[in-house]
């Protein structure tokens, strides 16, 4: 279930209530007259089944509440109510399969911004991956995969392509470019320092066959990226964070960036090219799969939306 908090101008409260009452999947409707002060109006509260949320939100937005009112949505962890059970039964589809598009849009937009936290996580993850390449240690490489924050920007590109939003695609692509460029540059600097003090040499990577998969992209790595991209989008839309961890472990974006930095420091140019290709291939595969998955979900829930309005 989702909890709606709607601030409506005084003259539109009846229309808001009408929209909530005619929509399947809505329960626990409460009206607090003249309770809102900024913006001024009535406060309407309601619970709605996740699978019916898109229809309800579209109806509320059509009343112009975005301009002079407010619509807030919160997740309800536990709802002990026969009315809530009946509302979920009345809504078409299943909540785990539903995509609340407004919620998804705001999440990916937030996850694709360039922030100090995003850069810090990506730099740290890339350095851990570089150490995993040097030791070598597949455990460290897997840990770096989990730590990397880049999938939010990948999902934002997919959503931007689906919506035809050049601004969202450009912003997310810029975040990935700046993020990986910063992470590689910092890791390269650290690798050069290590080479200067004699910790690593040009011969360091010669016998590390167990991490060669990072710089040898092939059809299988692209297929894995495609599958991971689809699974990642599904995990975000369904709120399955545990599945998203598996996505991080499946793709070698951060390890490729770490390997590239080390190879640059050691002058191993074929490995630089291989890791760069691996990075691009993984991101491209995830974007393609993410876009197709979102397209399929939109088509599916468009049909459910028409059914819920019938």
- Judgement on whether residues 73 and 179 belong to the same structural domain of the protein: no
Q: Which two tokens stand for residue 122?
A: 């990506």
Around 188, how many Cα atoms within 13 Å sit in the side-chain half-sphere?
16
Last residue of a domain, one of 72, 98, 124: 98
How does pLDDT run across 42-80, given as a tens digit for each residue?
A: 999 999 998 889 889 999 999 999 889 999 999 888 888
Last residue of a domain, one of 79, 98, 117: 98
193 or 78: which carries more pLDDT confidence?
Answer: 193
Q: Which helix (H) or strand (E) holds 162?
A: helix 151-163
- Judgement on whether residues 126 and 179 belong to the same structural domain of the protein: yes
For residue 29, name the pLDDT band (cuts at 50, 70, 90). very high
Alpha helix stretches (DSSP H) within 8-115: 13-22, 53-61, 65-68, 82-90, 101-111
Position 303 pLDDT exceeds 80: no
- Judgement on whether residues 83 and 109 belong to the same structural domain of the protein: no
- Judgement on whether residues 138 and 280 belong to the same structural domain of the protein: yes
Position 99 pLDDT exceeds 90: no
- Judgement on whether residues 119 and 27 belong to the same structural domain of the protein: no
How does pLDDT run across 102-127, given as a tens digit for each residue?
A: 988 888 889 889 999 999 999 999 99
Last residue of a domain, one of 98, 122, 154: 98
The H helix count followed by the E strand count for the chain is 13, 4
Q: Is residue 130 part of a domain?
A: yes
Q: How far is CA 238 from CA 58, 83, 147, 192, 276, in A?
A: 20, 23, 21, 43, 32
Position 309 pLDDT exceeds 60: no
For residue 31, name the pLDDT band (cuts at 50, 70, 90). very high
- The domain of 55 spans 2-98
CATH number of the domain to which 62 belongs: 3.30.70.120
For residue 241, name the pLDDT band (cuts at 50, 70, 90). low
Backbone angles phi, psi at 180, to 5 degrees: -70, -35
- Judgement on whether residues 252 and 297 belong to the same structural domain of the protein: yes
- Judgement on whether residues 91 and 116 belong to the same structural domain of the protein: no
Could you tell me what percent of the chain has a pLDDT over 90? 65
Q: Is residue 307 part of a domain?
A: no
- Rounded Cα distance, 202 and 200, in Å: 7
Number of domains, the chain: 2
- Judgement on whether residues 138 and 86 belong to the same structural domain of the protein: no
Q: Which two tokens stand for residue 82?
A: 């026969």
**What average pLDDT does the segment 280-309 reach?**
82
**What average pLDDT does the segment 253-273 reach?**
95
Position 297 pLDDT exceeds 90: no
- pLDDT given at position 240: 66
Q: Is residue 306 part of a domain?
A: no
DSSP letter string, 190-237: HHHHHHHTTS--TTTTTT-GGGGGGG---HHHHHHHHHHHHHHHHHHH
């Amino acid at each position: 279930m989702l909890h709606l908090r709607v601030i409506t101008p005084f003259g539109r409260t009846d229309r808001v209530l009408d929209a909530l009452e005619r929509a399947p999947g809505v329960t626990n409707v409460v009206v607090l007259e003249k309770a809102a002060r900024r913006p001024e109006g009535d406060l309407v509260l309601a619970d709605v089944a996740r699978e019916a949320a898109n229809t309800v939100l579209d109806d509320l937005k059509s009343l112009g509440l975005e301009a002079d009112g407010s619509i807030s949505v919160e997740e309800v962890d536990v709802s002990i109510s026969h009315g809530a059970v009946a509302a979920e039964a009345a809504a078409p589809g299943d909540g785990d399969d539903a995509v609340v598009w407004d919620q998804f849009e705001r999440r990916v937009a937030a996850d694709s911004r360039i922030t100090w936290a995003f850069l810090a996580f990506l730099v740290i993850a890339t350095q851990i991956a570089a150490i995993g390449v040097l030791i070598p240690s597949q455990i460290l490489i897997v840990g770096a995969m989990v730590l990397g924050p880049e999938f939010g920007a990948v999902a934002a590109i997919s959503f931007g392509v689906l919506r035809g939003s050049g601004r969202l695609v450009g912003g997310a692509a810029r975040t990935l470019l700046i993020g990986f460029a910063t992470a590689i540059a910092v890791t390269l600097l650290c690798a050069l320092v290590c080479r200067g003090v004699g910790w690593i040499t040009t011969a360091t990577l010669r016998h590390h066959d167990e991490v060669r998969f990072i710089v040898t992209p092939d059809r299988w790595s692209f297929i894995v990226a495609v599958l991971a991209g689809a699974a990642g989008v599904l995990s975000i839309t369904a709120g399955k964070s545990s599945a998203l961890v598996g996505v991080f472990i499946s793709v070698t974006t951060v390890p490729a960036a770490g390997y590239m930095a080390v190879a640059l420091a050691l002058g191993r140019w074929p490995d630089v090219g291989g890791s760069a290709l691996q990075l691009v291939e993984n991101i491209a595969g995830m974007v393609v799969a993410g876009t197709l998955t979102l397209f399929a979900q939109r088509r599916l829930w468009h049909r459910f939306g028409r059914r819920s309005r019938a």
